[in-house]
Structure 1
């Protein structure tokens, strides 16, 4: 009878375990306190400014330059992680070699490592007199390239951990059957492996991109924080908070919030469209 009722209303699926109302209530309360209430405060404080003041704050050349660096470096780091994260996940799943478990554990290091420690370590390594920086023919530290490297470092685990379970679930017999039917390696990858891996890779890219937008600790050391050149938006927000300019800080944060939401919506739409396209084929 409960099954017939759920089909009629379409509100919730039938379950033999009770407690939908209680768990739904706790879920909404949890999300409201941790997500909706803080975000609403951003809109509330920024709305205290007049429109001319708001636009003067968020369109200041220094602020616009920080937008370009934060979003551009986050997108670049996300794409790099999506490509090399899939390759790393492929190696960890498909091959056996000495030290495999150590490498697999090192993937999660950016999760456990404090961001300030990561920033100091990257700055030391890529400085002109560092181990890697001394071998390069161009400057990395205190440039946008250093920002991309820092964001790539902290975002790598997201793609690897999203793709690994998908590769582990793929049956090798299907690939062997494809090869026995005369398909080349590229055709097998394009028609069998790629459609399965792409949604997970896009999900990892989304998480890495979102994580990079709010990154602060690992970037401030390697970027040098030079206005109009290597200054990220989170640092500007912190600067305005230290100056007790709460309205200006929340105005910049509101722009970041709206823009991030739009970009994540577009990325999720592409992911949904990709899933639907490959499933229909």
Structure 2
């Protein structure tokens, strides 16, 4: 309609905003990653395969992806529990506890790694209690997983917390008044609403764990074939001036991470659509 007044947006129009968005993504994300992929194409398949099939490289990939996966899985469970307590209960010093959750965001990762190593080493406060039981944390894959749990927990908590705050308690009370048990209410009413947020939190914690370096390098012990992670192996290749090896490992890490994130995002999209349909 000719007389219709067009409502102006608070921020600049779509063209300018989209242009800035694309410029930012290209300059900060796409161009550096594309340069890495183009550099990898200069290597022959024989060079590529020799590097990636090396036993030390395969062990590093296994450790990195395995510890990141289990740490993210652990964080999904305990992150949901922590978010539930912060949203549904009132207790003294709640704001302080809520603020401590964000501490890994602000704390330098190297400081976290040194602190965890000091506590969980054989002479540490907790390590000396676990060592007689045959449980070694520092300089083992368990220690790497612990460090990744520390830095990944806030991603799950801060992703799930807003969704829990928006959930209405009336629906839960209505289901319980109809005779549903608490577990059934959680499984059939609450969990479907939280599934997209949990998948997002898992993806964020998992991807952060794959690229984590500072907090892991101290507690892992950096033993090849045992506790050496992929980021450390890339740094080692660069220090040895093996740029081809570093590029190959980084490229494979990038492709695998990208594929896994696509799969997780697809599952999240399907879960959200299933909830909307129902």
TM-score by length of 1: 0.92
Cα drift, residue 273 of structure 1: 1.8
Q: Check if 1:132 corresponds to 2:126.
A: yes
Cα distance in 1 for partners of 2:205, 2:234 equals 21
Cα drift, residue 258 of structure 1: 0.5
Cα distance in 2 for partners of 1:26, 1:271 equals 28
Q: Check if 1:82 corresponds to 2:79.
A: no
Q: Which residue of 1 aligns with 2:266?
A: 269
Q: Structure 2: any 5+ residue segments left out of the alignment?
A: none
2:231 to 212, 230, 234: 234
Q: Alpha carbon RMSD of aligned pairs, Å?
A: 1.6
Q: Which residue of 1 aligns with 2:251?
A: 254
Cα distance in 1 for partners of 2:119, 2:270 equals 41
Cα drift, residue 277 of structure 1: 2.4
Cα distance in 1 for partners of 2:59, 2:161 equals 37
Structure 2 SS opposite 1:97: coil
Cα distance in 2 for partners of 1:134, 1:198 equals 39
Q: Aligned ranges for residues 83-102 of structure 1 at < 5 Å?
A: 83-102=77-96
Q: Check if 1:69 corresponds to 2:36.
A: no
Q: Aligned ranges for residues 195-214 of structure 1 at < 5 Å?
A: 195-214=192-211
Q: Check if 1:182 corresponds to 2:176.
A: no
Question: Residues 174 and 249 (structure 1 numbering): CA distance in 2 closer, same or farther, change over 3 Å?
Answer: same
Structure 2 SS opposite 1:49: coil
Cα distance in 1 for partners of 2:194, 2:248 equals 39
Structure 2 SS opposite 1:134: helix
1:219 to 216, 225, 239: 216
The CA deviation string for residues 41-99 of structure 1, in whole angstroms up to 9 with x for no partner, is: 11122222111011101111100100000011110000000000000000111111122
Q: Which residue of 2 aligns with 1:52?
A: 46
Structure 2 SS opposite 1:96: coil
Q: Contact between 1:46 and 1:248, CA under 8 Å: does it hold in 2?
A: no
Cα drift, residue 15 of structure 1: 6.3
Cα distance in 2 for partners of 1:19, 1:94 equals 40
Q: Which residue of 2 aligns with 1:6?
A: none
TM-score by length of 2: 0.93
The CA deviation string for residues 110-166 of structure 1, in whole angstroms up to 9 with x for no partner, is: 000000000000001101111111121211111110110011110000000011111
Cα drift, residue 185 of structure 1: 1.2
Q: Contact between 1:82 and 1:205, CA under 8 Å: does it hold in 2?
A: yes
